[in-house]
């Protein structure tokens, strides 16, 4: 039997042992079963925590994008508000309503009491 035949036999025996549930016993790993279980538990916790971190980071990125959109929307609304509250806009609206109110032609005079 060559090396390839021996490797095939070992592989076949390992598959049969896994199927029967004797693989860890054949490797004599029963002494370290608690360590193996602890290692798998730690790996599971690490995977779970990294998934939580990934989900949190995705939420943070979404919130940053949303905040940026809201800031742009706020600046547009602020611009529109200043356009509608400006002197020229108010004068146009008053003229459209038929009001006689106009901007003063002369500067205001200061009246002082002596």
Mean pLDDT of the chain: 88
> Which of 11-15, 22-26, 74-78, 91-95 is predicted with the least confidence, judged by mean pLDDT?
22-26
pLDDT tens-digit readout, 41-96: 999 999 999 999 999 999 999 999 999 999 999 999 999 888 887 788 888 888 89
Q: Which two tokens stand for residue 28?
A: 């004599």
CA distances from 63 to 56, 77, 114 (A): 10, 21, 63
Tell me the longest C-alpha to C-alpha distance in the chain: 126
Structure tokens at 38: 């602890």
Q: Where are the domains of the chain?
A: 10-95
pTM over 0.75: no
In our burial notation (b when 16+ CB lie closer than 10 A, e otherwise), range 41-67 reads: eeeeeeeeeeeeeeeeeeeeeeeeeee
pLDDT at res. 114? 67
* Winning range, highest mean pLDDT, from 22-26, 55-59, 108-112: 55-59
């Amino acid at each position: 039997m060559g090396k390839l035949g021996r490797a095939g036999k070992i592989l076949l025996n390992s598959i049969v042992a896994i199927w029967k549930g004797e693989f860890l016993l054949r490797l004599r790993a029963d002494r370290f079963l608690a360590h193996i279980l602890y290692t798998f538990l730690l790996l599971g916790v690490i995977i779970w925590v990294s998934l939580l971190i990934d989900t949190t980071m995705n939420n943070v990125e979404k919130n940053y994008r949303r905040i940026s959109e809201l800031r742009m929307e706020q600046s547009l609304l602020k611009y529109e508000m200043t356009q509608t509250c400006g002197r020229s806009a108010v004068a146009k609206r008053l003229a459209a309503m038929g009001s006689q109110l106009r901007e003063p032609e002369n500067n205001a005079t200061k009246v002082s009491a002596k």
